A and B are shown apart, each in its own frame.
Chain A
């Protein structure tokens, strides 16, 4: 079998690259080893199967449960008894996942992409060895190869996977709500999963080794987020380095180091969410000619070209943030470049989101980064407490913050913590992609009442022109 383009890995980077290549007139195959219980191929990678999608399904369900138990009362809605049916909640999540993964096979069919089941190894001369589930082997030839093998959770030696010590995948499948839930790592995954189980009734303690909370976020945002999540019941302990975690089959005993010495805790379940690492197991034969860097990422240049001509790599397996949308866009760029088009990805404007409640999101530079790279900057902040729409929805926590260049007024970063923060930041990303200034957003008409108005007011506040909050004294 020979194809113009063979994509190894069917996650959001790989399947998008495959579809795009096919749309550009190439003969394309996409190799994926993941199958369901019936042996049917499951495309979608981490994102659809054990990442973005199932976690969002549970985040949404758990928030509804939480609202029913805690928040609706304030709206004058009395509910006599609220019961949790976790099996049904998980079932709904699985249905959503199945619908989306099956959808990819449908898209492949519509775009004439050949799905191939098996574990792929890239040999020399762009030859690919595919091993099926039952040991059968075949070879596929390609003019161009796109490696999109993804990533996997990092396992740490002091807390090996066991019955009650689990990674993010396991944390999406607890059969009962753990009474005491420990999370190692207060990053995006730790906060999201901690939120899910906290809302469903777990007492959650998150242990974070760093002294700084959400080090990659804007400081002002991180401070507010920390405060709010603590209020919601997440016990976030910074500067707490886990030194041992022992699972006796019933309980997990955790010992961690703080500035005040060693402390210990006992949990029913422990989630290890300290990050993810590139997954390249069996991907490359020794003579494949594709280099890995010291951290195990496939070495690529700005255009996702590896050390081997005609071999590209995209998504979590290469440098940059491990985000589905980053991988997908890389897949598009590579497909276009293979088809002889000029394409590039603007790595400066990849939005980040934490899907907690409220959401945390940002794009571009935070205040510290901007003042370091651009020198003089301006800041505009608008709190949701002053937003009419946010108040009507009982969602008045957080704020929108815009960082702009002092001289040119060009927006350098948009940060939000609050209702629909991800969607608000996305508007900022669009504006920034067009080189917008704060004044540009200020001159744009926003619907009233919407939470997006906070973006408008923050933009006005950059130049001390906000209407619904007092402006800084000049």
Chain B
């Protein structure tokens, strides 16, 4: 018995993905639910699992090829006569119904059908969004030239020195596109402040062990920043808003993205309704997400939405930076390295663990006064954590 293996159903916002790699070869024995392939979309890596015990009988989409939602990528056959009956679809049927969906001319339809190309992948230049034969030929040329996999990267020599040309991974390409869009599509600028971390350090020293014992997670710095951000966002609703065309969208909730680095790049999972979370819950959520990111198991819904973002360059040792907005959000908070510095407190020079804070914001929506006030609010909450407790 055999069945079709299809790429996962992508959410609406995801147009297509790339077959990142096949973990199993054709004919290799696989157990049910074992991961056989990974599909990389611009947001996450999705896993494709074996539907039952058996092996891949035919791979249609090689690593590096583009796939759309629920597209046929392989045939899979069972090792034994499985009792699970799987409905078998003839490939001809699915092609026909797909080709009929578009309004393109007959030649374009014929090639799309023969080459098993989804019409939605092709950039149409004809009247009313119609795909012309020239469009399909251009698409074929593009995809054929794009299928450069790590095995056949382009190596050229200049003056006896090697230059390697490798296509960007989908995740990288998306990051590149989004960052550029944020830079070009917003009036972004950054305001700075610094925070004396001594009170929080003292608190962690005093209650850290007890906290871990009770909640099973370490009391980190991040939870304080999230709590301080929640407090400040409440005071400055526009920092928690987003811009949609000419409209300002205010959110009644605070979904805070926490930038987490993973092998494949920086990802930003969201702490949902951060305003309802206590410090222990915040810490637990962050640890869960970090683990998932490391395992490449973050799901798309983990990263969708978000009304504000906290980025921590400090873990890599950065002393000062200007983070880029996560559009359509209108502000992002940058944390940095805690460094002992000589500061003046009550007229005396003293050594304090200091951290620079940066707030990049979209000046179209947020005035300088608000941005500065917001950052001061965070600074004060961190330097006097009692204020958080008292709701001040």
A437 x B132 contact (CB < 8 A): yes
Which residues of the partner chain B approach A409 to less than 8 Å between Cβ atoms? 107, 133-134, 137
Known contacts A435-B126, A437-B105: does B110 contact A443 (CB below 8 Å)? yes
Known contacts A409-B107, A443-B106, A444-B106: does B127 contact A437 (CB below 8 Å)? no
Please, how many angstroms separate the alpha-carbon atoms of A434 and B107 in the complex?
A: 12
Per-residue interface assignment for chain B, residues 129 to 164, with 1 indicating a CB less than 8 Å from any chain A CB and 0 otherwise:
010111101100000000000000000000000000
Q: How far is the CB of A380 from chain B (nearest CB, A)?
A: 14
Q: How far is the CB of A376 from chain B (nearest CB, A)?
A: 14
Which residues of the partner chain A approach B273 to less than 8 Å between Cβ atoms? none
Per-residue interface assignment for chain A, residues 97 to 110, with 1 indicating a CB less than 8 Å from any chain B CB and 0 otherwise:
00000000000000
A434 x B105 contact (CB < 8 A): yes
B110: nearest chain-A partner, CB-CB: A443
Q: How far is the CB of B145 from chain A (nearest CB, A)?
A: 15
Known contacts A407-B137, A408-B134, A434-B132: does B106 contact A439 (CB below 8 Å)? yes
Q: Is B125 close to A, CB under 8 A?
A: yes
Q: Is A228 close to B, CB under 8 A?
A: no
A410 x B127 contact (CB < 8 A): no
Instruction: Identify B134's interface contact among A433, A435, A444, CB under 8 A.
Output: A435
Which residues of the partner chain B approach A410 to less than 8 Å between Cβ atoms? 132-134
Please, how many angstroms separate the alpha-carbon atoms of A436 and B106 in the complex?
A: 9
Which residues of the partner chain A approach B135 to less than 8 Å between Cβ atoms? 435
Instruction: Identify B107's interface contact among A405, A407, A433, A439, CB under 8 A.
Output: A439
A445: nearest chain-B partner, CB-CB: B106
Please, how many angstroms separate the alpha-carbon atoms of A433 and B105 in the complex?
A: 12
Which residues of the partner chain B approach A423 to less than 8 Å between Cβ atoms? none
Which residues of the partner chain B approach A440 to less than 8 Å between Cβ atoms? 105-108, 133
B130: nearest chain-A partner, CB-CB: A434
B131: nearest chain-A partner, CB-CB: A435
Which residues of the partner chain B approach A435 to less than 8 Å between Cβ atoms? 105, 125-127, 130, 132-135
Q: How far is the CB of A449 from chain B (nearest CB, A)?
A: 22
Q: How far is the CB of A395 from chain B (nearest CB, A)?
A: 29
Q: How far is the CB of A268 from chain B (nearest CB, A)?
A: 52
Known contacts A436-B105, A444-B106: does B133 contact A408 (CB below 8 Å)? yes
CB proximity to A under 8 Å, residues B58-110: 105-108, 110
Q: How far is the CB of B225 from chain A (nearest CB, A)?
A: 50
Known contacts A439-B110, A440-B107: does B134 contact A434 (CB below 8 Å)? no
Which residues of the partner chain A approach B138 to less than 8 Å between Cβ atoms? 408
Residue of A408, A410, A433, A435 ringed by the most chain B CB atoms within 10 A: A435
B138: nearest chain-A partner, CB-CB: A408
A433 x B127 contact (CB < 8 A): yes
User: Ordered nearest first, which 9 A-B pairs have the shortest CB separation?
Assistant: A443-B106, A439-B107, A435-B132, A437-B133, A408-B134, A440-B105, A440-B107, A435-B126, A437-B107
What are 15 sample pairs from A and B whose C-beta atoms fall under 8 A apart? A405-B134, A408-B137, A408-B138, A409-B137, A410-B132, A434-B105, A434-B130, A434-B132, A435-B105, A435-B127, A435-B130, A436-B105, A437-B107, A439-B107, A443-B106
Other than the given A437-B105, A440-B106, 4 more pairs (CB < 8 A) read A435-B132, A435-B133, A436-B105, A440-B108
